[in-house]
Amino acid sequence: MKKKALITGVTGQDGAYLARFLLDQGYQVFGAYRRSATLDTSRLDYLGITDDVEFVAFDLLEFSNIVRTLEQCKPDEIYNLAAQSFVALSFEQPLYTSDVDGQGVLRILEAIRLLGMEKSTKFYQASTSEMFGKVKETPQTEDTPFHPRSPYGVAKLFAHWANINYRESYGLFGCNGILFNHESPLRGLEFVTRKITHKLAHMATHGGEPLELGNMEAKRDWGFAGDYVKGMWLMLQQDNPDDYVLATGQTYTVKEFVNLSAAALDIQLDWVGEGVNTQAINRKSGEVVVKVNPEFYRPSEVDLLLGDSSKAKSQLGWEPETTLSELVTMMVEADLKRVSKI
């Protein structure tokens, strides 16, 4: 009999890659999505798996709906990837973010408990490196103290500890994946990496106004989402539940990500100015390619994130397979194909 997995947020970047991975493992995959006017399956279409996913309407704000969905699907594994996942928006919508990303997870956990599924269903919670925020040590491990610097990070931390609490109180097989930044051609345009690759591809093909970014010196540990979903699955295949950091162990600035993206387009950049006056100039044409817009700075910045995934490597056998250069090239090539159709 096929194992059954329920993926919340299946239409997102991670949900799509995870769905493909689980289908390849022979799972029956239920894709939970938030009902809206239309079901956006574009990411699943991109991976060619839309017809293989069984869709179920699911809302993290509605407890009765969560209960009915779990009763209907009776999943062996639940992967909660649904969230309000844009950090900048969490400053504008802190209450909504806390309800979805924090209490929404508690609703799932309580539904599992009330249905008596805590011994038969394994639960994965998508935690985040944003919980480290104002980092206490570098690199960050599973034991590094948390200090979130956004409503998003705060809400995710609530969910993280709620999962641990249900694991310790009720014997739930609950795992938290503390994933550092992971990107792909399926990343939303509101995220800085995809904003960079899409805009530079568009400028290289059609021209246009300069790319505007915020803090160019912010450092992140970027990996490929397709690698990270395997780590999610491996966590739920262990004999005992635990929490794991997934990261590449390398950190790069936003400026360096821009340079790699430009290089993939055969564009050489010269950087001038400092801080809010920073600009990137196309060496060949003399045009301004990138400039800083202070409006894109966060109210409280997270300057450096760098993960240590030694535990995942030793206990799960997991490590990233895609370099940042390979990832950027993949994203740029995908965006070139997209903008060429405009």
pLDDT tens for each residue of 9-31: 999 999 999 999 999 999 999 99
Which one of 50, 128, 197, 248 is the catalytic residue? 128
One-character DSSP codes across 166-185: HHHHH--EEEEEEEPPEE-T
Q: What percent of the chain has pLDDT over 70?
A: 99
User: Which class does domain 4-184+223-250+305-321 fall in?
Assistant: alpha beta
Strands (E) located in 161-235: 173-179, 182-183, 211-213, 219-220, 223-224
Separation of alpha carbons 37 and 1, rounded Å: 35
Q: Mind listing the pLDDT tens digit for each residue in 28-48?
A: 999 999 887 579 999 999 999
Q: Mean pLDDT over all residues of the chain?
A: 95
Residue 201 tokens read as 């591809």
Q: Please check whether residue 291 is in contact with residue 301, taking contact to mean a CB–CB distance below 8 angstroms.
A: no
**CATH 3.40.50.720, the chain: domain bounds:** 4-184+223-250+305-321
| Closest among 196, 222, 220, 223 to 210, alpha carbons compared | 196
CB 216 within 8 A of CB 269: no
From 77, 118, 130, 183, the catalytic residue: 130
Whether the per-residue pLDDT at 73 is higher than 70: the answer is yes
**Where, residue-wise, is CATH 3.90.25.10 in the chain?**
192-218+253-304+328-340
Question: Catalytic site residue 128?
Answer: yes
Our answer to whether residue 152 is catalytic in this structure is yes
Helix (H, G, I), strand (E, B) or coil at 316: helix
**Does 192-218+253-304+328-340 carry CATH code 3.40.1670.10?**
no
Q: Residues near 149 by Cβ (< 8 Å), separated by ≥ 6?
A: 130, 133, 134, 298, 300, 301, 302
Q: Which of 33, 152, 228, 252 is catalytic?
A: 152
More confident residue, 296 or 209: 209
Packing angle, helices 104-114 and 151-170, rounded to 10: 20
How far, in Å, CA of 158 to CA of 176, rounded?
12
* Per-residue pLDDT tens digits for 271-292: 999 888 999 999 999 999 999 9
Alpha carbon distance 88, 47 (integer Å):
28
User: Residue range 175-198: average pLDDT?
Assistant: 96
Does the annotation count 322 as an active-site position?
no
